[in-house]
A and B are shown apart, each in its own frame.
Chain A
Amino acid sequence: MRRKSLARATTAILLAVACLAQVQAKPVKLTLWSGYPDLQGFYESVAKEFTAQNPDITVEVQTFALADLDKKLGMSIPSKTSADILELISLYSFPWATKYFSEVPANLKKGCLDVVNKTYLHDVMYGEKMMGLPFCFYSEVLYYNKDMLAEAGLKGPPDTIEQLVDYATKMTKRDADGNVVRSGISLRFAGNPSGTCEKFWAFGLMPFGGDILAESAKKPGKFHNGFDNEAGRKALGLYLDLIYKHKVTDFNIKQDSDAFAQGKAAMLEREQWVVGTLKTAAPGLNYGASALPKGTARNTFAITRNMFVPKAAKDQAAAWKFVSFFYSKPIMERMVRETGWLSTRADLDYKALLKESPQLLAGIDNPPDLKFIWQKRLTIENGIMTKMGEEITKLLRDQGLQGNEAKIREEIHKLGAIVDDMLKDSDLYAE
């Protein structure tokens, strides 16, 4: 009898241990979404390294074009079908952060706060709550082709808006029919409208002290458009003058980093990722990068890329474990060295890491008068930027606006009213 009981107890213990072992060994497969297909390889290599150290957790990386990822979020987050880890630019996280994402665990938050450049916490801190981990940042800088600059007899990049217009005019090339075959500066006319607005914001509004949204002085937390003013009018005027008066580019010629890589644009206003792209697209290109030229002010935006874990993630602990691994110093050093994206960690030696890509230092060694302008973290901010981008591209195609101050004033006022209406719809408007 005693022997029988002992045997039963032993069997029960063995079964329990076996079950426990099975529970502990249950493999977890996480999915990570990113809006940067060019980083697929990097993410996969990090995921592989992570799994080597954590055999029970595998991470599948899925990347999409940035604008497509935004649309996927709109459908998947409310239906709780998104990935377990979301790598998002701040703008895309604003609608979801407080309601759908889980808070960064205390130990990871502390670890991050110990090493992060505090400037870059702007978009993820909601009171004391940290809703995502900002691992990377980017800003807008000016890229210039050194050979074309020298060919035009110019010594260095433009430092002011006046110089920019002058330099762009000098570096523009046309064919016998007068068609632009090389833009003095590439301008953004199309593509994801939110991105078009982003460029207008940095290149047009910011040098004149304007902004997309301005917080109400009377009612903090409420906003109105920040460009129905002199800055907005100057910004639109600058674009129109570049296209129709100085004719430094047109709607037919290639634009953006492709044009810069192919020598079809002498200057380009873009973010740091261009350096990584040019490494493969135009390895022999002789170019430099500098801070954006100043008008009445020298401003640029700063945007962070952040890791979020939705509340609906199948295993939050495992997901945060991966994020923690990802933000470790060796991985961040690798990210900077291999991809050219800049980390928010303050303890990295950028000068040593960026020997091969000195252009990236334009985002780090900033002029003392440079000021970062941040987004306002509103749910509808992406919607506002998209709407503005759509309207701006239409305005830029209206040649009749060039030089017509009254008409420019009217159009900017109309655009401001559209933005204010969107704010009113969301109960976020105040003068």
Chain B
Amino acid sequence: MNSGRGKRLFADREEASFILAVLVPTMAAFLVIRLAPIAETFVGSFFNWSLVDGFGRFVGVRNYVRLFADKTFYSSFVNTINFTVFTTLFSVVLGLLFACLLNRKPRFSTLYETIIFVPVVLTFVPVCLVWMWLLDWESGFVNVALRALGLPRVSWLATPTMSMVSVIIVSVWKVIGYNMIIFSVGLKAIPREYYEASAIDGSSRWTVFRRVTLPLLKPITLFVTVMAVINNLKVFTQVYVMTMGKQGGGAQVDVLVSDIYTRSFVYYRMGSASAEAMVLLVVVLAMTALQFRLAREDE
């Protein structure tokens, strides 16, 4: 009996050891690489400090107060939210649409899948540069095509609004393929019986999509949306390359991460940048929590 109990205990210990052996290094790395910098940033947001002079004096919540009174922060915040909403909406809807279309296995479906997926694996900076050429007002392909169709040219990158629209177009184009693949996996996992039963009931395609496909894709949709929202809130590369690095007539678009970057490495105001980073963290956490809650309520 004792030996039996001992054996069971030994088995538990082994399992516990295994779990610890696997988890501890990962958790330690997570702690050092993720949590510690967040904690340091949080503490730093209450200090007036710079990269040049190091930690200065404790200023309490002053960095937050001044941040919320800063026009650039507001425009960055609004731009980030606009970008996130539109990019997420279009990339999720179009990703689902392409997945549904290709799930019917039309001719050359693999080719279409490849073409739609290719932008995902391309490096973003050169992609943005190519898009800037395509969107060039004078000689870009898009405006040349518009003129050939008898339509007026569009100042894609010359006004803040159109710069934002251009960035959204490029971002959606870049990520549709990824969303499409995830949705395709979800679609393949839906048992055929549901569709067969619907067909017997004489349901229309739209009804089948609404009553069968969408509800069963809910976990996948939630995953894709949450990932898209998190990634879009962190937008930086395309905004930086397409609107901030140009010496032509391009209009700059401020977003939260670019504003954090400017405060840190141009103004050297790390306290202010830390405060803005904490705001971004709270926004990301809040949005994610909200999405999970909405999904749970629906269940």
Contacts and interface: CB of A to CB of B under 8 A. Distances in A.
A188 B250 CA distance: 10
Given A190-B246, A256-B248, A386 B262 contact: yes
Contact of A71 (B246, B254, B265): B265
A413 interface: no
A191 interface: yes
Interface centre among A70, A96, A254, A379 (most CB of B within 10 A): A254
Interface stretch (B8-16, B155-163, B167-175, B205-213): B155-163
Nearest to B262: A386
Contacts of B268: 74, 95, 379-380, 383
B250 A190 contact: yes
Given A250-B249, A397-B160, A78 B52 contact: yes
Interface string B33-54: 0000000000000001011101
Nearest to A385: B266
B263 to A, nearest CB: 9
Contacts of B266: 70-71, 74, 194, 382-383, 386
Contact of B249 (A71, A192, A252, A425): A252
Interface in A244-264: 250-256, 258
B264 interface: yes
A268 to B, nearest CB: 12
Interface centre among B54, B160, B266, B269 (most CB of A within 10 A): B266
Nearest to A254: B248
A265 B250 CA distance: 17
Interface in A39-90: 65, 67, 70-71, 74-75, 77-78
Interface residues of B, number: 30
Interface string B247-291: 111111010000001101111110000000000000000000000
Interface residues of A, number: 38
A387 B51 CA distance: 18
Given A380-B268, A386-B262, A251 B52 contact: no
A193 interface: yes
B265 A252 contact: no
A393 B252 contact: yes
A379 B52 contact: yes
Nearest to A75: B265
A252 B51 contact: no
16 contacts: A95-B268, A96-B52, A189-B248, A190-B246, A192-B245, A194-B266, A251-B159, A252-B155, A252-B158, A254-B249, A379-B50, A383-B266, A383-B269, A386-B266, A390-B254, A397-B160
Given A78-B52, A191-B250, A193-B252, 18 more contacts: A74-B266, A99-B52, A189-B248, A189-B249, A190-B249, A190-B250, A192-B245, A252-B158, A252-B249, A253-B138, A255-B249, A256-B247, A380-B268, A383-B267, A390-B252, A390-B254, A397-B160, A425-B48
Interface of A: 65, 67, 70-71, 74-75, 77-78, 95-96, 99, 188-195, 250-256, 258, 379-380, 382-383, 386-387, 390, 393, 397, 422, 425
